[in-house]
Amino acid sequence: MNLAARLERGLTRVSSRTYSLLCAAIVLLAGLALIAALGMQISADGKTYHDQATLLADKGLGAFLGDVLGWSYLGMVSMVALARLVFGEGWATGMIGLNLVCLTATGALIGRLVHRLIDRPWLRLVGLVALPACFEVLMWTRFVCSEPLFTLLMLAALAIAVGPLTPRRWALLAGLLLAATLWRPTGVVLVAALAFAAVLPVLAATLESWRRQPSGRLALALWLGLLLLVALVFAAIMRHPQLWPFGILKAQFDYARWSYDLGQVVWGRLETYHPKPTGYLDYLSIALARWGQAFALWAQGHSLAHRLYNILYLGPVFALSLWALARWSLGADRMTAAQARFVSLAGGAALSFCLLVALLQVEFDWRYRAPALPVFMITALIGAGLAMDAIRRARRPGSPPGRSGQSA
């Protein structure tokens, strides 16, 4: 038996626990290698968290909540305060250690989901290296920042949401979403994105019951139309700020309005900026341009290697995720029920999250889409299985039906 056959046989027989541990170990080694090569770094945000942690420790919760960051960063700043208390001057090392723990746990959770959703051995092999190979996620491990834990919270919440929701799992989901909301402002966007994504399968089932025929395509079209409506309304609010109904999110709203008034599309990348908006269509064009940039694969100043990496890695991830969502809408008979639920709910939430966050800001290094990438990785593996089935059917029209991502 040659090496390829042994590898295929081994990946077919490996247990869920072993596969998850392998995923965790590989991504931990990748994270440690990155830190060893490039070193730890306290970003500008990290310095702000340190200053706010000092304020929280010295003057109390009331002073912190009335200052720059407020309640939406309470979790992150409290963790920095705890790291200062435990590690003293080495607080940044403690935070990087937390990043490594979160990265490892994210790898283990990806492994569990891939093992459950994907049976095809070669796709499982790709699943082992999907996260370590994703530099947009891995790079934040060496910084004092909120990305690693938020990425874990997002994936964990969606993993809970796609399963059967018992009272205990509802409570766990609520706890994860609350933690995400207190960890960084985009936690609120995650809650909105998950609620928005939950509409998609419900809409498809309702339309199918009403029309008495498969209605996934119509449901997806209506759902995308609702997303577009959100952009239309948000642009109107940017043009007429008095329409904003939520006082508790006023600081985030004021920042978004300021960025729109600058014509900002991608933060700090002046070549993407629009002229100063004066009318509704100007604000709408900025919002739609941000949507276009949310999934950009390169930017001015990126090296050739950077561009090739993004095209060869993120390009297929995004394309195969969209393919999986499109095949779900067509009622693909080769998609298992678990795969269909993951693609529609988790994949829909990841897509909604990226688009909704982009309305607020597209960050210089596209870091705000990083927490959604593990979901896209898994959705792309499902899409790859569907694509492989389609190719096989095209070559052998009489082949029997199978399941996406599963061995025939």
Determine whether 6 is exposed, middle or buried from the number of CB atoms within 10 Å of its CB (0-12, 13-18, 19+). Answer: exposed
Q: Are residues 128 and 217 in the same domain?
A: no
Identify whether 156 is part of a domain.
no
Give residue 8's pLDDT: 66
Identify whether 30 is part of a domain.
yes
Q: Which amino acid is at 384?
A: A
The pLDDT tens digits for 92-109 are 999 999 999 999 999 999
The pLDDT tens digits for 271-311 are 999 999 999 999 999 999 999 999 999 999 899 999 999 99
Nearest to residue 347, comparing CAs of 101, 124, 159?
159
Distance between CA 69 and CA 403 in Å, rounded? 48
Q: Are residues 95 and 50 in the same domain?
A: yes
Distance between CA 403 and CA 408 in Å, rounded? 8
Helix (H) / strand (E) containing 227: helix 216-239
Q: Are residues 292 and 385 in the same domain?
A: yes
Distance between CA 132 and CA 23 in Å, rounded? 9
In sequence order, the 6+-apart residues with CB closer than 8 A to the CB of 357 are 186, 189, 294, 368, 369
Last residue of a domain, one of 150, 171, 196: 150
Determine whether 161 is exposed, middle or buried from the number of CB atoms within 10 Å of its CB (0-12, 13-18, 19+). Answer: buried
Q: Which amino acid is at 338?
A: A
Strand partners, 266: 362
Alpha-helical segments (H) within 118-215:
121-130, 135-138, 147-161, 167-183, 186-211
Identify whether 163 is part of a domain.
no
Give residue 407's pLDDT: 42
Identify whether 10 is part of a domain.
yes
Q: Are residues 72 and 195 in the same domain?
A: no
Q: Are residues 221 and 101 in the same domain?
A: no
Q: Are residues 139 and 190 in the same domain?
A: no
Q: Are residues 262 and 396 in the same domain?
A: yes
Domain of residue 367: give its range: 185-408
Identify whether 168 is part of a domain.
no
The C-alpha torsion from 74 through 77 and 82 to 83, rounded to 10°, is 150
Total domains in the fold of the chain: 2
How many residues in total does the chain contain? Answer: 408
Q: Are residues 237 and 94 in the same domain?
A: no
Give residue 85's pLDDT: 93
Determine phi and psi for 338, rounding to 5 degrees: -65, -40
Give residue 389's pLDDT: 86
Q: Are residues 91 and 198 in the same domain?
A: no
Ranges of residues in the chain with a pLDDT under 70 are 1-8, 10-11, 246-248, 332-333, 397-408
Give residue 5's pLDDT: 67
Alpha-helical segments (H) within 262-372:
280-294, 304-329, 337-341, 348-360
Give residue 408's pLDDT: 33
Q: Are residues 103 and 248 in the same domain?
A: no
| 114 in Cβ contact with 127 (< 8 Å) | yes
Identify whether 313 is part of a domain.
yes
CA 237 to each of CA 14, 249, 287, 352: distance values in angstroms, whole numbers, following the listed order: 53, 14, 11, 19
Q: Are residues 129 and 199 in the same domain?
A: no
Give residue 398's pLDDT: 56
Q: Can you spell out the DSSP letters for 110-133?
A: HHHHHHHH---HHHHHHHHHHTTT
Long-range contacts of 292-295 (CB under 8 A, 24+ apart): 293/265, 293/266, 293/358, 293/362, 294/354, 294/355, 294/357, 294/358, 294/362, 294/369, 295/354, 295/369
Identify whether 74 is part of a domain.
yes
Identify whether 180 is part of a domain.
no
Q: Are residues 282 and 213 in the same domain?
A: yes
pTM: 0.92
